[in-house]
Amino acid sequence: MSLKPSISKGTKDYLPDDLGKRDYLKKILRETFEIFGFLPIETPSFERSETLIGKYGEDGDRLIFKILNSGDKLKKADIESFNEEDMGRFSNSLSEKALRYDLTVPLARFVSQHRNEISFPFRRYQMQNVWRADRPQKGRFQEFLQCDVDILGNRSIIQEVEIILMCEHIFSRLNLKNISINLNHRKILEGIAILIGAKDKFLKLTSSLDKLEKIGKDGVIKELRTYRFSKKSIDSLTPFIDLKGNFKSKIDFLSSRLKEIEVANEGLDELSSIHDKITKYKLNSISVNFDITLARGLDYYTGLILEVLPTKNEFDFGSIAGGGRYDNLTDFFGLKETSGFGISFGFDRICLILEKLELFPKDLLKSSKIMFVNFDDHITEDCLQKIVKLREKDIPCEIYPTKSKLKKQLDYANQRKIPFVVMIGPDEFSKKEFIIKNMETGTQSVFKTINLIDEIMKLI
């Protein structure tokens, strides 16, 4: 009895065509990261559970894939907790390690662990898969590639400026125009929370504000009411939700409203200074905006918060990159005062956009450039000798492995998108000639075998 072949839901196979495109995007990201002075690191796919659990909030923790203990360790299963229906404890007793949920916590662990082997400021990029036990949705997978760039060990806002310039560089190379980079600052949000008298409900405030796009102003207000924000709080918040205008005018409005609140002023100064620096560059692909509702849900940001998305969002998803400044991420692991700034690119979403806008170059598939037709064992041996020579010249080529019918062999070349086919039948062989067939046009040309390498080099 045979098994119906299928994959686990929320995962995906990549065929050669897909990988041609993904490699193109990977290459551009990797090259840009390196041009900006970032170096690669890689961390293990699974980490000790205590490294990951408790860093992503309750919702995040639930989505971490745990690895089941094996052997004798499985005997330590806490059956009592199962009987008490305490599934959290039961599950912890069955597992000691878990799959990477993002690249940020592993980075914090890495930097703390290798602090004496690396030099600060530490500029690193990392392109590795992460896993989340999310309910699978269209375009959302349980395994996906994250591409993160971070600088740790320095507070200068040059980092923020550089990362924004890097976005311009990447999207220009991808020919992707109309990309919005929305900025906000944690300290401005804190200032607003203080002003409206809701300092103790800061996280509830920001998580509601973050949903403005999705649930609208009324939705936000309704949610704040359920969180027991006072009418007065909500009324004083309204002008901030309604805030319109360009970057400068928003800064001016906030500066006047929040002028008494020191933390807000710090945030406004920094944000305005970053914006001033950025405006000195000619930006073709990105525009930089100030979005006072942006919070990005993550509690560990302490300064600038940033989100990247297509301006005309005809795609069914939000941001294609996001990041921010964090001051205390390595504290967990005993490394203090290591402020960092980073951005994470959503690889799959960028792929989807390039696909939809037809921005992938043609011919990304690295198929053989030449296929030799297989006519006869004797001739085949001779062809293989020539193939070896072509390969020494880095020309991808192959021979059809069996003497199948010509049509079948040519069909294979077609399906594989091989542009040229070399035919040496017994006739050609005796005349020391060969035929090259252009698979796109169908035209055939005859040459002397002695010139085979040269003629093929001319074609490719």
292 versus 371: smaller Cβ distance to a copy of itself: 371
Q: How far is the CB of 119 from a copy of itself (least distance, A)?
A: 4
Write out the DSSP string of 177-234: --EEEEEEEHHHHHHHHHHTT-GGGHHHHHHHHTTHHHHHHHHHHHHHHHTT--HHHH
Say how far apart CA 124 and CA 107 lie, in whole Å: 9
43 versus 207: smaller Cβ distance to a copy of itself: 43
Q: How far is the CB of 322 from a copy of itself (least distance, A)?
A: 22
Cα separations in angstroms, 65 against 52, 219, 300: 11, 33, 22
> Which run of H or E residues covers position 393?
none
- The answer to whether the beta carbons of residues 303 and 324 sit under 8 Å apart is yes
Cα separations in angstroms, 263 against 106, 137, 302: 30, 40, 11
Tell me the CA end-to-end span of the chain in Å, nearest whole number.
48
Say how far apart CA 257 and CA 411 lie, in whole Å: 71
177 versus 204: smaller Cβ distance to a copy of itself: 177
37 versus 245: smaller Cβ distance to a copy of itself: 37
> What is the longest distance spanned by two Cα atoms in the chain?
96
Instruction: Using the Cα atoms of residue 52, residue 55, residue 58 and residue 60 in order, give the sign of their dihedral.
Output: negative
Q: How far is the CB of 397 from a copy of itself (least distance, A)?
A: 6
199 versus 391: smaller Cβ distance to a copy of itself: 391
Sequence-ordered list of residues with C-beta below 8 angstroms from that of 346, at least 6 positions apart, any chain? 146, 319, 320, 321
77 versus 406: smaller Cβ distance to a copy of itself: 77
Helices marked H in 258-402: 262-278, 347-356, 377-392
Q: How far is the CB of 262 from a copy of itself (least distance, A)?
A: 23
Q: How far is the CB of 135 from a copy of itself (least distance, A)?
A: 10
147 versus 309: smaller Cβ distance to a copy of itself: 147
240 versus 400: smaller Cβ distance to a copy of itself: 400
Instruction: To the nearest 10°, report the CA torsion of 448, 449, 451, 455.
Output: 90
Q: How far is the CB of 277 from a copy of itself (least distance, A)?
A: 7
7 versus 443: smaller Cβ distance to a copy of itself: 7
Residue 97 CB neighbour total at 10 angstroms: 17
Q: How far is the CB of 188 from a copy of itself (least distance, A)?
A: 23
- The answer to whether the beta carbons of residues 343 and 123 sit under 8 Å apart is no
Q: Which two tokens mark 255?
A: 């500066």
Q: How far is the CB of 27 from a copy of itself (least distance, A)?
A: 11
Peptide bond into 121 cis (omega under 30): yes
Q: How far is the CB of 286 from a copy of itself (least distance, A)?
A: 14
